[in-house]
Structure 1
Amino acid sequence: MQADLILTNAKVLTMDPERPRAAAVAVAEGRILAVGAAAEIAALAGPETKVIDAGGRTLLPGFVESHLHLGLGGAELADLYVGGLHGPEKLRAAFLKFATENPDRALLMAQGADYAMLDHPVSRHDLDAIISDRPIAMTSHDHHTVWANTAALRAAGILDGHATPPGHEVVMGEDGLATGELREFEAFGPVIALGGLERINLGIATGAEPATWPGEAERDEDKLYFEAGQKHCARYGITSMVMMDGNRYTLELLRELQREGRLLARVRVPFHYKPHMQHSELDRAEAMARDFNDDWLSSGFVKMFMDGVVDSRTAYMLNDYPDQPGHRSVPLFPPEVFNPLAAEIDRRGLQIAVHAIGDGAVRVVIDGYEAARQQNGPRDSRHRIEHIELIDRADVPRLGALGITASLQPPHPPGAMDFPLEPTLERIGAARWKDAYLWKTLRDHGAPVAYASDWPVTDVSVMRGLQAALTRQPYSADCADERLSLMDSLHAYTAGGAWAAHMDHVTGRLTPGLAADLVLLEADLESLAPQEIGGTEVALTICGGRITWAGEGWG
């Protein structure tokens, strides 16, 4: 068979232990035809073969973004970004400029807000002082808190409060009105809806489907968010992605994009199970897994939140928060609820992925996975824990022993990339810093590791994430160096992510027969110092043999 495409004169890192390095790759009919020496691969060229000289640049399997929110990220590309801004003057200037540029937007939404961006807790009054006659709001960098002004609260119908499930809160003031701080998704959902994102927000807020199935015009509008998100990810070398929010509506939108030739990456979408649901709701998850199961679009797993985040003290801890004695938060699924639920999901042959940040939440999840295994017997489940920002040392070896994937985000540790040190380190407490963000420790104890960004929580750039993974520093003398090597980190962004998503039979390695998912970087990665990696551009992104991104001069 002749090749459709050959990339040659490359530093090929295959992630295939049988042949870890090569100089050229041949592609035919959307799959890897051959990997080897330049002369060997050149023999596969025909008169119609496109040949690309990589010029000694690094060629890798396409990156697997193991944890992101695709539609929400695509929508947020049009929002104001306030990350790194501190003080009311800078915030005011940014909002006023954005308001002038967007006179018709129903909601002026900002992203990337820092919990410590003002010298006091943000309230609606702070935002009213910026703009009072239009709804404005801003989302925290972790996406678990929104602050809204009075106009937004009134328009959303929550100025006088709003009934929410445990773990979600419209914070109320002494005056009987909302302060403007909205904690977790069902508290700020009504504000998000003001911006026209109610439908695509369902997959993370409630797990429900639209009350009335959207018409063609509405679906076309929502598809644009997913398309924008895919295009954004493609420029960073991403060819496969695992969404951590979703419902059937999400899958149907992506299927329409697939049929229209507008699906640029392989996407895996979960069924989001919420605490108010009954086990019978898992019939929906099984139907999604059955109806969406090809190499491009699939489901097959259930996502849950066990807790919130450290900065808002909604992460569930085994011990009191050092700066708030008596408070540990609560698990959204208590053990007596989670254990039988995990067993039922596992019995149905579905994978489980649970957001767990505090060490208390991590333990509840591990206990539940262990209970499921004891009840149903071992199988190739590849259940996952997302984030694991704090873990009790006694629980570290349990992940490897139970085959639980550690789904980790290199941009998340405070100070590693964009997140500030505070208030996170204060919330964790100096005595527990040594138990935070234990990537290498978990890997060394046998846990499979997958890396991701959690976009739009952080920048989706894999190169920036890789630099963060390789340059983060211990917080104190009693903290170990938790960095993985360059090759182990690349594995976590490629083959490790594919394995964690049950996609390793399709992608993640450059080996004959697998999908032609590749990323060509604008550098010889191994020649760069770690602190130089983040600025590396992507020259080409290729998914299924199709170029989905071409940098300048590569089109």
Structure 2
Amino acid sequence: MTLADLIVTHARVLTMDPDRPRAEAVAVAHGRILAVGSVAEIAALAGPDTKVIDAAGRTLLPGFFEGHVHVGLGGADLTHLHIGHLHGAKAVGDAFRDFATANPDMPLLMAQEAHYDILDKPATRQDLDAMIADRPIAMMSPDLHTVWANTAALEAAGLLRGAEMPHGHEVVMGDDGLATGELREFEAFGPLIAFAGEGRINLGIATGEEPDPRPSAAERAADKALLRRGMMHCAAHGVTSLVNMDGNRYTLELLAEMRDEGDLPLRVKVPFHFKPHMALAALDRASAMAADFDDDWISSGFVKMFMDGVIDSKTAYMLHDYPDQPGHRSEPLFPPAHFDRIATEIDRRGLQIAVHAIGDGAVRTVIDGYQAARTANGPRDSRHRIEHIELIDPADVSRLGALGITASLQPPHAPGAMDFPLQPTLSRIGEARWPDAYRCRSLAKAGAAMAFSSDWPVADVSVLRGIAAALTRQPYAGAQDERLSLIDTLHAYTAGGAWAAHRDHVTGTIRARLAADLVLLGGDIGTTPPAQIPDLGVTLTICGGRIIHDHDVSAQ
């Protein structure tokens, strides 16, 4: 009989396994779940060297599956200034000056979580110059789609006099022929990120290309440190697997080096990022990544795309005019007929597709493309995904379930649910469309598979805060209640995320022979009022049978 290396007992185990949804104890051996059962059943598997953890009635869940995160960018974000709690030029300027004093050698002083009305007006380089003029400083919006930079930063990045950008990316220019300071979308502020020394880790989302020239050993070590910092931050919140939604072969190579060095804490899936400038032949790179990286720890097998931007900057593609800008709907980054061809070719190769689509026009374009691929290639277990779906036309709600499309949603993104303010987002959507915004329950009821995540560092990676946001969110005027139940919410953060990423054969549920990926909470989530769920905290995170986060656990 195989004895357990580790036992967690006297727990309220929520397995997410429909065949045995609840249990009292779990045994782990050789990195996998040995058995799930009662306290007595699992105690029989203990040997003299077995580590036994008494959960004392706390909830044990499958390790959280972070289905949409930017872990390298998050690792860098942890070193930046955070100003989401501030408002007004004086408060922001004081924070920048304090940060500058504490970081005299930092080439770029970057502030994160600068909401669009943080200065009560559209921010300009002159506004930031008034805070600090002699060092490059910049502010990143919470959605990571807009940066505002001062004159010194624009000069350092070669953007002050403008720069030619791909469709959908813009260095906003003023009447004086100089940049205003607003940089829209990734390639526009990419030179600024490169100046800060974070360009290599940003390539996967900015251009989809590989570093050139090939990074030195020291540069690779620096990038691995960012990835590890980001992963350990996720692990502290109970995450054991993640989908890094920006990526390239370089990212996979770094992760493989970390695995071989015994320094990879989490399971990671990385896409090939297909950008509008690429020809279909670029998908050969996606196929090669899928073939070369496919084990229980590191995998690829899917293609990420952006169909539009975000609502607050009015770059989300809408079916109707923005209420405060008649005649403006933005545009899709991929024309519909062209996207149909791309989706069909990706699907033909047996790869999964994940597309960022926020406006209802973008969402419809993606659904149409997936339908075109299915018509051309026939149905298969593709699990194609749409990321975010912040606005959807009622006519499209039932199409996701009918076509087997996964709704990859972020409960913290809904304005007012967690950290994002109600404005300007709700005004940009318009009150008449609030019933169609941030739909969750209605998509699930219509048959869409659900996967929840944070999109960190866009939102706090804390899964417990995300669960609370999902359970406490209030309906907008005229809209129905879009909350799921506690168990359905937990499923979307665990088994649902694993299924959406084609990793359900590895993790996502607590059942024998699957990976021993577990999270022990600080109490019983089932009896905790939803608003108090974040206070439970994460006591223990286990990935592949290894304890990677331990917050005051007693072993006997």
Q: Same fold (TM over 0.5)?
A: yes
Name the SS of the counterpart of 1:189 in structure 2.
helix
Aligned to 1:245: 246
* Aligned residue number for residue 349 of structure 2: 348
Give the distance between the partners of 1:137 and 1:223, measured in 2 at CA. Answer: 25
Structure 1 position 137 matched with structure 2 position 141: no
Which amino acid in the other structure matches residue 502 of structure 1? H
Q: How does 1:146-545 map to 2 (within 5 A)?
A: 146-476=147-477, 478-545=478-545
TM-score, normalisation: structure 1: 0.99
Residue 119 of structure 2 is matched in structure 1 by 118
Supply the AA of the counterpart residue of 1:428: I
Would the aligned equivalents of 1:539 and 1:554 in 2 still touch at CA under 8 Å? Answer: no
* Alpha-carbon distance in 2 for matches of 1:119, 1:23: 53
CA distance in 1, matches of 2:124, 2:34: 58
The letter of the residue matching 1:412 is H
Counterpart contact for 2:520–2:539, Cα < 8 Å: yes
Structure 1 counterpart of 2:254, one-letter code: L
State the Cα distance separating 1:215 from its structure 2 match. Answer: 1.5
Give the aligned residue type for 1:339.
Answer: D
Q: Supply the distance in 2 between the matched residues of 1:511 and 1:537 (Cα, whole angstroms).
A: 24
Displacement of 1:552 in angstroms is 2.9
CA shift digits 1:496-515 (9 cap, x unpaired): 00000000000000000100
Cα deviation code 1:277-336 (max 9, x no counterpart): 000000000110000000000000000000000000000000000010000000000111
Per-residue CA shift, 1:191-235, capped at 9, x if unaligned? 111110111110000000011111111100110000000110000
How many correspondences in the alignment?
Answer: 554
- Read off the aligned partner of 2:305 and give its amino acid letter: M
**Aligned alpha-carbon RMSD (Å):** 0.7
Shift of 1:535: 2.0
SS in 1 for 2:41: helix
Structure 1 distance, partners of 2:511, 2:84, is 40
Look up the SS of the partner of 1:51 in the other structure. Answer: strand
State the 1:48 CA deviation.
0.8
Q: 1:262-284: per-residue Cα shift (whole Å, max 9, x none)?
A: 11110000000000000000000
Which whole-Å CA distance do the structure 1 matches of 2:268 and 2:177 have between them? 45
CA distance in 1, matches of 2:230, 2:76: 8
Deviation at 1:554, TM superposition (A): 4.9
Instruction: Indicate the SS of the match to 1:113.
Output: coil
1:138 Cα shift?
0.8
> Shift of residue 553 of structure 1?
4.4
Letter paired with 1:106: P
User: Offset of 1:107 from its aligned partner?
Assistant: 0.4
Match of 1:411, SS state, is helix
SS in 1 for 2:98: helix
- Where has structure 1 moved over 6 Å in runs of 4 or more? none
Contact 2:316 2:362 in 1 (8 A): yes
Q: Distance in 1 between matches of 2:225 and 2:209?
A: 21
SS in 1 for 2:113: strand
Return the offset for 1:119: 1.6
Residues 317-363 of structure 1: per-residue CA shift (max 9 Å, x gap) = 00000010000000000111100100000000000000000000000
More off after superposition, 449-458 vs 84-93: 84-93
Corresponding residue number in structure 2 for 1:89: 90
Q: Is the 8 A contact 1:540 1:554 kept in 2?
A: no
Output the amino acid matched with 1:304: M
SS of equivalent to 2:240: strand
> Contact 1:68 / 1:456 at 8 angstroms: preserved in 2?
yes
Match of 2:108 in 1: 107
One-letter amino acid of the structure 2 residue matched with residue 551 of structure 1: H
Alignment gaps of 5+ in structure 1? none
Report the residue type matching 2:548 in the other structure.
T
Q: Are the counterparts in 1 of residues 398 and 447 from structure 2 also a CA contact under 8 Å?
A: yes
Shift of 1:372: 0.1
Between the aligned partners of 1:379 and 1:503, the Cα distance in structure 2 is 16
CA contact (8 A) 1:84 1:114 kept: no
Match of residue 17 from structure 2: 16
* Structure 2 equivalent of residue 552 of structure 1: 552
CA distance in 2, matches of 1:293, 1:479: 43
| Corresponding letter in the other structure for 1:410 | P
Deviation of 1:166 after TM superposition, in Å, equals 1.2
Tell me if structure 1 keeps the 8 A contact 2:540–2:553.
no
**What letter corresponds to residue 549 of structure 1 in structure 2?**
H
Query: d(CA) in 2 for partners of 1:535 and 1:197?
Result: 34
The SS at the match of 2:291 is: helix
Give the percent of matched residue pairs that are identical in Structure 1 and Structure 2: 70
> Could you report, residue by residue, the CA deviation over 1:158-189 in whole angstroms, capped at 9, with x for unpaired residues?
10001111111111011110000000001111
User: Which amino acid is 1:432 matched to?
Assistant: R
Counterpart Cα distance in 2 of 1:31 and 1:444 = 34
User: 1:136–1:151: 8 Å Cα contact kept in structure 2?
Assistant: yes
Does the 8 Å CA contact 2:14/2:61 hold for their aligned counterparts?
yes
SS in 2 for 1:427: helix
